[in-house]
Amino acid sequence: MKDKDMPASRILIADDQAHIRDSLSLLLEPEGYQITEAESPNTVISLIENESFDAFIMDMNYAKDTTSGDEGIELIQQIRKRDTDVPIIVMTAWANIELSVKAMKLGANDFIEKPWNNSRLLSLLDNQISLAHEKLTNQRLSELNKQDNSSTSVIANAPSMRPVMQIIERTAASDANILLTGESGVGKSLFASLIHNLSLRKEAPLVSVNMGALSDSLFESELFGHQKGAFTDAKANRMGRFEMADKGTLFLDEIANIPKALQAKLLRVLESGEFEQLGSSKTKRADVRVISASNVDFDSEIEAGRFRQDLLYRLNTISIEIPALRNRAEDIIPISELFLQQLKAKYRRSELSLSEPAKRALEKYHWPGNVRELSHSIERAVLMANDTKIAVSDLGLDSTLPKVELTDMTLEQAEHLLISTALEKNNGNIQLAADQLGISRAALYRRLEKYGDSIQYDVKG
């Protein structure tokens, strides 16, 4: 049975006979559907004026000794006036081809006889709901494609996302520096793009730098640029990221991974807007708005002496925490559908859609890797699916991951657990473990040095 805290497809059953409604409810509720019953067309109309449903299963006759199907035909027309896309499955004990064709022409999606076959009805319902959801997703994507920037690819319908979007809407047009925080994989780079696209700088570049991937020796060259001959491999002049982002936005991802010795150099540039390329004494200026991101607890980093408090002040004029995917239950399926549409085009699998059991599995999974893990799961499913419906097994959800509540652990304990799990899952492969954790290879090595022998695993690569 579906977890009561998870969204369920809502089914309206309309039939004048109570035992029919009861039988359908007993069949569908264990499958995770939320059932509403109606005994007459008037009750159906009253319900749909105030509520929305994912599908209708309805009788064609309601008055005693009536077999014409006229009441059902009228009800279909009334439903279609209010909702052109919701699936309607009609049922009658007096099924005939003529009535079936008439119902389909007027808007019913399919027809089934009483007594029904349970397996066929479940399959039919799952298929119709999936098709309706896919149609809705395609309509949304069509609207997204009409927009002139990528900000619309952010899905934020969950209540936990409302304060996030409110802050972004209020501050995006300013030049205030913004610090995005949240667990690894929540999509901080996507929100950085959204902020840029809503800002007055949207016509200028958004330049991204993964600070966790920069070695000490490449830090200045990458950010500030270099002159030919400044060091052994400097075979030509190179523009740095600050200069590339002039008049635009510079996104500094994994900002907490900057070594302490280099933080002062970044702070000076943020304070003055001035820098020198390696191999040159000429001062250059860059007008940039800085958005940075990290998944660490900065108070702990500052207390441990690993991060400068004055640099943090420069970075977090506005601080926005992006909620974990498990706290955005309402967004899981829309995000999954968006990924699926993109991947169907990429892999030429246009026939694919998510089955209802797959959707329920996606909603119930705890997503330790957040949106990044969801993207990988959908991509795996597109590659592995043998049918037009993506099954739960296609998603590759790892039921062996620890189910402990991270909120009951210290930050260090949670990090230790996630690193150990990632290494075990990836057979000690550093790069694969780093990808799963959403950090760079260098950042993972630094964390392994921090924990020393307490993480026991045969590390490779």
Query: Over the chain, what is the mean pLDDT?
Result: 85
- Please give the pLDDT value at position 94: 59
> What CA–CA distance (Å, rounded) separates 318 from 427?
40
SS3 88: strand
Q: What is the mean pLDDT of residues 397-415?
A: 63
Domains of the chain: 10-142 (3.40.50.2300), 151-321 (3.40.50.300), 329-454 (1.10.8.60)
Cis peptide before 163 (omega within 30 of 0): no
Lowest average pLDDT, out of 134-148, 227-241, 412-426, goes to 134-148
> What CA–CA distance (Å, rounded) separates 444 from 436?
11
HEC string for 247-291: CCEEEEECHHHCCHHHHHHHHHHHHHCEEECECCCCEEECCCEEE
Give the model's confidence band at 230: pLDDT under 50 very low, under 70 low, under 90 confident, else very high.
confident
| Cβ atoms of 242 and 222 closer than 8 Å | no
Residue 322, pLDDT > 70, answer yes
pLDDT tens digits, residue range 47-63?
Answer: 988 788 999 999 988 98
Residue 28, pLDDT > 90, answer yes
- Please give the pLDDT value at position 439: 86
Residue the block writes with tokens 């799952």: 126
- Please give the pLDDT value at position 353: 94
| Cβ atoms of 377 and 369 closer than 8 Å | no
With a pLDDT cut of 70, the percent of the chain lying above it is 88
Question: Which string of DSSP letters, residue by residue, matches 343-354?
Answer: HHHHHT-TT-EE
How does DSSP classify residue 93?
T
Residue 143, pLDDT > 70, answer no
| Cβ atoms of 169 and 233 closer than 8 Å | no
pLDDT tens digits, residue range 156-184?
Answer: 989 999 999 999 999 999 999 999 999 98
Instruction: Enumerate helices (H) and strands (E) in the chain, giving the number of each.
Output: 19, 16
Residue the block writes with tokens 């990044």: 372
Q: Nearest-5° angle of CA 337, CA 343, CA 348?
A: 125
Lowest average pLDDT, out of 106-120, 351-365, 400-414, goes to 400-414
- Please give the pLDDT value at position 227: 86
SS3 361: helix
Do you know the residue count of the chain? 461
pLDDT tens digits, residue range 76-113?
Answer: 999 998 888 899 999 876 556 677 778 888 899 988 88
Q: What is the mean pLDDT of residues 237-247?
A: 87
- Please give the pLDDT value at position 167: 95
Query: Taking every pair of C-alpha atoms in the chain, what is the biggest distance, in angstroms?
Result: 96
CA atoms within 13 A on the CB side of 129: 23
pLDDT tens digits, residue range 407-435?
Answer: 556 777 778 888 877 887 776 778 888 88
> What CA–CA distance (Å, rounded) separates 102 from 97?
9
Sequence-distant (6+) residues with CB within 8 A of 63 are 16, 71
Give the model's confidence band at 405: pLDDT under 50 very low, under 70 low, under 90 confident, else very high.
low
Q: What is the mean pLDDT of residues 177-193?
A: 94
Q: What is the mean pLDDT of residues 186-210?
A: 92
pLDDT tens digits, residue range 124-134?
Answer: 998 898 888 76
Sequence-distant (6+) residues with CB within 8 A of 355 are 126, 130, 389, 390, 391, 392
Sequence-distant (6+) residues with CB within 8 A of 323 are 158, 160, 161, 164, 182, 186
Q: What is the mean pLDDT of residues 254-278?
A: 90
- Please give the pLDDT value at position 280: 83
Radius of gyration of the chain (CA): 28
> What CA–CA distance (Å, rounded) separates 362 from 186?
16
- Please give the pLDDT value at position 216: 78
